[in-house]
Amino acid sequence: MKIVQVKDIVFNEGRPKICVPLVGKTKQDILAAVKILENVAFDLAELRIDFFEGVEHPEQVEALLAEIKSLYKKPLLFTFRTKKEGGERELSLDRYFELNRFAIRSGMVDMIDLELFSSEEDVIKLIAEANEQNVKVVLSSHEFFRTPPKEEIVARLVKMQQLGADITKIAVMPQSEEDVLTLLAATLEMKKEKADRPCITMSMGKYGVISRLAGELFGSCLTFAAAKDVSAPGQVSVRDVRSILEILALD
């Protein structure tokens, strides 16, 4: 099983890492969220650039990244979540890949999130470019209205590995307790039989909170938690997540 290191954070080693979202419509909102992190015990942050009102203007994105870099030293995950996968806005496919290519070439992000169900050809090309720039790629899939069967969840994660992702990710929405078990069973199957690199899985909403806390046992290397504003249903506060992960630690 591969590990992935980003700065001083090692995925697939020890407890699941805690990622906090940076969300905000304006540069001022986002920078205020960054400053809050000075007193928060977390491992990395995800810039949800789809919330940013200047996202379609490269010069505004560049200025925002530069200011974040001046304030923040931990790993930064750059994510434009599309509308169809639960994000705040839509971009054309060309603009989506242009934005992520811009982030890779900026030298100011450590990781990017790419969606599996976009363009396979462009995903492969962008992963290759990211590798050249030492930017890690999280290949992801999100289901905000259902939980697919276990076999489908596993198949998507395996496909992400085949495409060259550094880290694979799937998030699903449970409609029942059984759906949460489906996600956990798929995660465990990846851990024991299929995964050759770090994997992130989660079941969202109230039912799925347990999946955000039990990653070390079942095989998810990262969990998302809120320092202030949440970016997905079911996120728990960083303080609570940190305390529970310490209690559940396997070492």
Catalytic residue, from 17, 136, 169, 191: name it. Answer: 169
Sheet containing strand 236-237, strands side by side: 199-203, 167-172, 136-143, 111-115, 76-79, 44-48, 17-22, 222-226, 236-237
Give CA–CA dist 128/51, Å, rounded. 27
Give CA–CA dist 39/144, Å, rounded. 31
Q: Residue 110 CB: number of other CB atoms within 10 A?
A: 16
Catalytic residue, from 17, 136, 142, 191: name it. Answer: 142
Contact 101, 122 (CB under 8 A): no
Q: Is 228 a catalytic residue?
A: no
Q: Is 17 a catalytic residue?
A: no
Residue 186: both structure tokens together: 């798929």
Give CA–CA dist 192/84, Å, rounded. 31
Give CA–CA dist 228/10, Å, rounded. 25
Contact 213, 241 (CB under 8 A): yes
Residue reference for tokens 């938690």 = 225
Contact 81, 88 (CB under 8 A): yes
Positions marked active-site = 142, 169
